[in-house]
Amino acid sequence: MQDTKQTIMITGAGNGIGRAALMHFHGLGWRVIGLDLDDNALSELRETLPGDTALLLACDVGKEKPVAEAFESIADWIGEDAIHCLVNNSGIADPYSGPLEDLSLEKWQAWIDASLTAAFLVSRSAIPFLRRAAGNGGSASVVNISSTRAVMSEPESYAYASAKGGLDALTHAMAVTLGPDIRVNAIRPGWIETGPWQKKEDRSNPDHRDIDRDQHPVGRIGEPQDIAEAIQYLHEAGFVTGQHLNVDGGMTVKMIYEH
């Protein structure tokens, strides 16, 4: 059976950027597959998204066995259809690990696994489904959600920056290996306010200061919808692969001096 609808798969889909991207593409008429550790967040989404257009699975995407089990369910749900776009968005949101001399290997590994290892494991399992989309004459792409912290840092963010820097490297390595059938790009979000896109119990709408907005050349802090639209652009941009797109309101190109 040939695809009649496009399908997107998003990790870290329960809250924040992942949740916004899931709802954005579902609103465009796509079928959506969402993976997240937070099943409570996924349960909220299940209440609003029909089961024939949305598959939402609790999964630790940084571990091999849970990913393999999730793809068994995905294969049953998709049947002979395909995945057209994979968004590797999972990660630990808090970038601050404390002093390097106090950082345990266990905590270091948690940051690496949640973002970089997860992208490897999920991409590895998704490739056959993405190739199926390309084989049917459609567009197949992967979008890795990196961070501007892959190329710039605040103090004590070693593990987070390393995970995102590794994700940048994985992006160009995948692009040259999987092309021309599958294009692979990365988005580096800057300051994105995800408070309104959390599950109900964690939802917030922070009131930012003028100084917070003014340090962005566009005059505002980013929203998850900005990233969802960038994902859509990269999926549709057929001559773009192996790229790292900063979506940060221009913050990384503005020199900031405290006076």
Q: Which two tokens stand for residue 222?
A: 């980013």
Cβ count within 10 A of residue 214: 12
Integer Cα distance of 163 and 111 in angstroms: 7
CA distance 59 to 157: 26
- Nearest CA-CA partner of 116 in 163, 81, 82, 176: 163
Amino acid making up residue 252: T
Query: Cα(49)–Cα(24) distance, rounded to whole angstroms?
Result: 12
- The two three-digit tokens of residue 2, written as one number: 């040939």
Give the tokens for residue 135.
Answer: 């084989």
Catalytic residue among 158, 160, 233, 257: 160
The DSSP 8-state label assigned to residue 113 in this structure reads I
Q: Where are the alpha helices (DSSP H) in 136-209?
A: 158-178
Query: Which tokens in the block code for residue 115?
Result: 């973002």
Does 233 participate in catalysis according to the annotation? no
How far apart CA 33 and CA 120 sit, in angstroms, is: 18
Which residues does the annotation mark as catalytic?
A: 160
